Amino acid sequence: MNALLHAADAVTTKATTSDPVLNIAIFAAFVVVTMIVVFRAGRNNKSAADYYTGGRSFTGGQNGLAIAGDYLSAASFLGITGAIAVYGYDGFLYSIGFLVAWLVALLLVAELMRNTGKFTMADVLSFRLHQRPVRLAAAISTLVVCFFYLLAQMAGAGGLVALLLGINDSLGQSIVVAVVGALMVIYVLVGGMKGTTWVQIIKAVLLIAGAGLMTIWILAMNGFDMNQLLAAGNQAAAAAKKPFDALAYGNQYKNAIDFISLGMALVLGTAGLPHVLMRFYTVPTAKEARKSVVWAIWLIGAFYLFTLVLGFGAMYIVGPDVILAAPGKTNAAAPLLAQALGGPILMGIISAVAFATILAVVAGLTITAATSFAHDIYASVIRRGEVSPNGEVKIARITVVVIGIAAIAGGIGVQGQNIAFLVALAFAVAASANLPTIIYSLYWRKFRTRGALWSIYGGLISSIVLIAISPVVSNAAPAATSTAMIKGVDFHMWDLSTPGIIAIPLAFILGWLGSIIPGGKKENSWLGAEMEVRSLTGHGAEKEVAH
């Protein structure tokens, strides 16, 4: 125990003096290995199905790992561990929402989506409705979700650098954001979906193994006695500058309605995230899509159980005060814990894993957004299908570069701003603009084009408006201490910082109303029957590409 206290002391004094050279070297090794894999994977990209879906040739297990790699962002690794370390169980509420959400994907969405779609979410939504308007709406909401998510990840990359590499000036951080953006573009441009998937698989293995190793380490230090770990954590929490009860909920979230609103968005948003949905097309059959979700649920669930142990470990080994004083605040908990346990080498590995995490997630978002733009907006809406698959992939590649530039510019532009709410917003848009239409399309025959448009645009607009007038964008706090995105101005009109509780039910109601009110375009009932038969039987589903 004494040795541990010393370790904690050592952390206090050199919290920011990790070894940047070592961290960069380990990260560079990751980049080299993934680049080799991506270049090898890219050689087989011949058709559109190759580029967008990796030829639909991944197994359920591989895809499950890739889903975990796509889904477990730096926010879940660093953010949740840190939140548990400084607030106790509240961080745990987050991770449970992220996990339970997968039941929606498993039970309602994954298989039927795989059976009826080709490359994008819009394929499924426009299957039996009027093509162009529905496709356009679905593509817009796909792009919005991807862009918010991407921006949050890029901004996170800047913050992470300050913490891990000791780069604190804004020029240095901008350079790192640019490097992350450039690597992401190369992965996606060269490797397509196959390369991106392998990056995600490698990252998932590293992340889960790294977190698992630290978890076992901490448990071993406590004689594999959870009770002892909780006691140690709680003691540290009680001794913190701002003491809290680590074994209770409600330390971080004071507004219960706000938390319920967030919980709804987390649970219903996952199955509407376009980059997650696209992963279902990378396997050959619906049965493999089911297997991928099962793998993903076990991996993600195990990982979130690890974060509980890591959070309590960081609570007593590093301490809430040290974490909050470190650059990066709660995000510093996991790297500092790694340093206390295994010294600079383990910290370097965990830091590199955190970077790899950001890279894999942004690559997945980029290929999803590019596919949606090229396949839905360019090929189907602008050119009305009069475009060869090669022409489409060419547009997708150009889009990748454009998104890369926009992401770098955006990531540099939002530096230092508090935009953590963007991830919650992306989930809220996915839950309100995407999920209702997906569920209605797959399960309700009377669903019509007008309902789809009302639901998608209604969910999208209400989410964004509610965020814009919420206290996370502007509030009454003085500019110096304000945590809002826009400081010193106050135009907030309602008090919830998450829009889910209004936007999600609203989108469901709009989809229903738009479909039952008489008038509007007629739907093709034959296509309705075809979609349902195909969704359940898998007849006519897109096949694996043979090489």
Q: Which residues bind other proteins (CB under 8 A)?
A: 89, 92-93, 96-97, 99-100, 102-104, 106-108, 116-118, 123, 126-127, 131-132, 226-227, 230-231, 234, 245, 247-250, 253, 256, 259-260, 263, 267, 287, 290, 293-294, 297-298, 301, 304-305, 375, 379-380, 384-385, 443, 525-527, 529-530, 532-533, 536-540
Report, in Å, the least distance between residue 530 CB and other proteins.
4
Q: CB-wise, 326 or 531, nearer to other proteins?
A: 531
Q: CB-wise, 388 or 483, nearer to other proteins?
A: 388
Task: Check: CB of residue 345 under 8 Å from CB of residue 22.
Answer: yes
Segment (H or E) for 452: helix 449-468
Report, in Å, the least distance between residue 429 CB and other proteins.
20
Q: DSSP assignment, residue 233? A: H
- The whole-angstrom separation of Cα 295 and Cα 61 is 6
CA angle 356, 360, 361 (to 5 degrees): 120
Report, in Å, the least distance between residue 34 CB and other proteins.
30
Report, in Å, the least distance between residue 487 CB and other proteins.
29
- The whole-angstrom separation of Cα 6 and Cα 447 is 64
- The whole-angstrom separation of Cα 125 and Cα 442 is 8
- The whole-angstrom separation of Cα 395 and Cα 122 is 17
Report, in Å, the least distance between residue 227 CB and other proteins.
4
**Tokens 């038969």 belong to residue:** 533
Specify the length of the chain in residues: 547
Determine the longest span between alpha carbons in the chain, in angstroms.
76
Q: CB-wise, 516 or 527, nearer to other proteins?
A: 527
Report, in Å, the least distance between residue 544 CB and other proteins.
15
Q: CB-wise, 443 or 491, nearer to other proteins?
A: 443
Q: CB-wise, 30 or 244, nearer to other proteins?
A: 244
Q: CB-wise, 7 or 302, nearer to other proteins?
A: 302
Q: CB-wise, 5 or 248, nearer to other proteins?
A: 248
Identify the burial level of 89 via C-beta atoms within 10 angstroms of its C-beta, where 0-12 means exposed, 13-18 middle and 19 or more buried: buried
Q: CB-wise, 61 or 538, nearer to other proteins?
A: 538
Q: CB-wise, 19 or 392, nearer to other proteins?
A: 392
Closest CA to 69 of 279, 346, 313, 288: 279
What are 170-173's contacts with CB under 8 Å, separation 24+? 170/415, 170/416, 173/415
Report, in Å, the least distance between residue 361 CB and other proteins.
22
CB atoms within 10 A of CB 337: 28
Report, in Å, the least distance between residue 124 CB and other proteins.
8
Backbone angles phi, psi at 14, to 5 degrees: -120, 35
Task: Check: CB of residue 115 under 8 Å from CB of residue 535.
Answer: yes
Report, in Å, the least distance between residue 215 CB and other proteins.
14
Q: What is the dihedral of CA 174, 178, 181, 186, to 10 degrees?
A: -170
